[in-house]
Structure 1
């Protein structure tokens, strides 16, 4: 678990379109409020993905990516495409800590969050690849907190009858590949199967505050 007092900038990535009605955003915001109370100088950058201007990861961007991997130069539309990617990724790279709020959609993550990851997870920006040793993450000394929700699935439930988790596993694999291995999770699950959703949310909020207090003291 990395330090709280040493962090200077946190990027809050909101993966749900439901804004204040979102359980994942609510839990994440509770964590963030408690963390900033302990670290008032923390710079917070909020990225609302459903309001952001995210370009399609189209053929020009894919071609630019392959040329970068091959070590070839970029020109024309490919250079423009790569410059656009670099600008979007720079906002992510600049943060010391990540707070990612995401519901589970069809066992995975919302497509808008996946689109954002597809845009920024690029060679030379978030990772490099060695033919012999594999991927190497380029993000160093970063920490991520995941605020996760699901309507039915929760750890320990019978699968696949009640769902399969490609949500936290995908986010962890992606972050690990980018070099972020220090990761904590906050979960509000399930919201449909539990006999008392309000109590379950209260418990998730309490854990969010406790985790923020731990991070803020380190």
Structure 2
């Protein structure tokens, strides 16, 4: 039975355009795959551990810096538990609004915790970084109020979709699709535009 994880990085709940689009997409997927198991991870209600000095020191032992003592091992176990839960899914849907050209800080914190050597990626001095999540798939739901791909730089720059695409490649998720609602505000009729996007996700 395939398992899908919807990762919410907007705090706006039902008012979030990225969440609305993601949920419509997921409902469509459930109709297409009735056995699909769906879980939701709202990063604003998740008690995420701080990636503090002990966790950073534990991470560096994988690169030959320092040793994994009991304190560092305990800190590292928190990282591993969260990451292994994430890895148990086959499909990921990220609802990601643009914040100041980038991603919401809660999403960045989550990715910084789980993106660890030996868990989501490996490293070789010759090959460089290589991902460990073979066979996984992802969908990015990207929204922004003013920015749109190809728009003049006076409307913003994209450290948002670019970052997410880079991260997916880093951890080995090669099969990824993108749903955009950009811009969501700087249009003549934002509500009609959203309705059109949601309508495109309805089954024929």
Q: Would you say same fold, with TM above 0.5?
A: yes
**Which structure 1 segments of 5+ residues have no match?**
1-6, 214-218
Q: Does 1:122 find its partner at 2:121? A: no
TM-score by length of 1: 0.90
What RMSD, in angstroms, separates the aligned Cα atoms of the two structures? Answer: 1.5
Aligned match of 2:183: 190
For the pair 1:149 / 2:165, whether they are aligned, the reply is no
Structure with the greater relative contact order (CA < 8 A, sep ≥ 6): 1 or 2? 1
Q: Runs (4+) of structure 1 moved beyond 4 Å?
A: none
Instruction: List aligned pairs for 1:73-88, cutoff 5 A.
Output: 73-88=67-82
Identify unmatched segments of 5+ residues in structure 2: none
Cα deviation, 1:5-26, whole Å, max 9, x if unaligned, reads xx61111100101111100000
The count of aligned residue pairs is 204
Alignment of 1:33-44 (within 5 A): 33-44=27-38
Counterpart position of 2:89: 95
Q: Is the 8 A contact 2:57 2:66 kept in 1?
A: no
Matches within 5 A, 1:173-188: 173-188=166-181
* In 2, Cα distance between equivalents of 1:48 and 1:141: 24
Residue of structure 2 in register with 1:164 after alignment: 157
Q: Structure 1 residue 71: deviation in Å?
A: 7.8
> Distance between the aligned counterparts of 2:174 and 2:186, measured in 1?
31
Tell me the TM-score normalized by structure 2. 0.96
